């Protein structure tokens, strides 16, 4: 081998090593740095998400009950405050009050929510959720003084039960 050939091979090896190091260190989204909490009364917020599976009629004819997975894992009940009402453009509106307890026993308090749905074709009991926001107004334990917004999406079946995903942000009091 000549000196020129050895130099080219060494250069290529170094280039490949540098490219691999660059690619492996730049993958994915960088982790957000923890926000400092210096003063009393400050809040810190975090993204939450998971799923909810409930059955209608678990408590009474107007109340669902079931497990919650993910960041707010525990159990939830949702009571229909009024009968479903027709909405604009063929939608059906549900007025709901949530009752949420986490796995650790903390309560999460939520304002009454409004779910806007559309009936699923060929069914009298299934509804696709097109808008279903709710607002957290505090709670007990870790959720004392908390505030946030959670949005639900999925399907409600007044006979078979409900399968939802939830996503949002909760801000905790220090």
Task: Please report, for the chain, the start and end positions of each structural domain, with discontinuous segments joined by +.
Answer: 43-173
Q: Which of 79, 56, 50, 62 is nearest to 151 (CA)?
A: 50
Residue-wise burial string across 16-35, b where 16 or more C-beta atoms lie within 10 A, e elsewhere: eeeeeeeeeeeeeeeeeeee
Task: Give the distance, in angstroms, between the CA of residue 129 and the centroid of all CA atoms in the same chain.
Answer: 15
The pair of three-digit structure tokens given for residue 152, joined into one six-digit string: 């639900």
pLDDT score at 40: 55
CATH of domain 43-173: 2.40.350
Q: Which of 96, 102, 97, 95 is nearest to 139 (CA)?
A: 102
Q: Which of 15, 81, 76 is nearest to 51 (CA)?
A: 76
pLDDT score at 161: 85
CB burial of residue 148 (10 Å; 0-12, 13-18, 19+): buried
pLDDT score at 113: 98
The pair of three-digit structure tokens given for residue 35, joined into one six-digit string: 């926000």
pLDDT score at 172: 96
Please give the average pLDDT of every successive group of 10 residues along the chain, which has 174 residues.
41 33 35 42 89 90 94 97 95 97 98 97 92 98 97 92 94 90
pLDDT score at 119: 95
Q: Using CA atoms, how far apart are residues 77 and 164, in angstroms rounded to an integer? A: 13
Residues in the chain: 174
Contact (Cβ atoms closer than 8 angstroms) between residue 150 and residue 166: yes
Q: Using CA atoms, how far apart are residues 104 and 122, in angstroms rounded to an integer? A: 41
């Amino acid at each position: 081998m000549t000196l020129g050939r050895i130099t080219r091979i060494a250069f290529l090896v170094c280039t490949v090593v540098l490219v691999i190091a660059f690619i492996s260190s730049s993958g994915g989204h960088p982790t957000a740095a923890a926000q400092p909490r210096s003063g009393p009364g400050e809040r810190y917020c975090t993204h939450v998400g998971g799923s909810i599976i409930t059955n209608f009629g678990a408590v009474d004819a107007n109340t669902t009950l079931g497990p919650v997975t993910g960041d707010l894992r525990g159990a939830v009940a949702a009571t229909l405050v009024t009968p479903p009402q027709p909405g604009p453009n063929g939608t059906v509106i549900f007025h709901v009050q949530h009752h949420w307890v986490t796995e650790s026993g903390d309560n999460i308090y939520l304002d009454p929510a409004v779910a806007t749905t559309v009936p699923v074709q060929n069914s009298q009991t299934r509804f696709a959720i097109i808008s279903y926001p709710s607002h957290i107004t505090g709670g007990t334990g870790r959720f004392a003084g908390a505030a946030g917004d959670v949005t639900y999406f999925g399907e409600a079946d007044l006979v078979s039960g409900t399968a939802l995903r939830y996503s949002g942000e909760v801000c905790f009091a220090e």
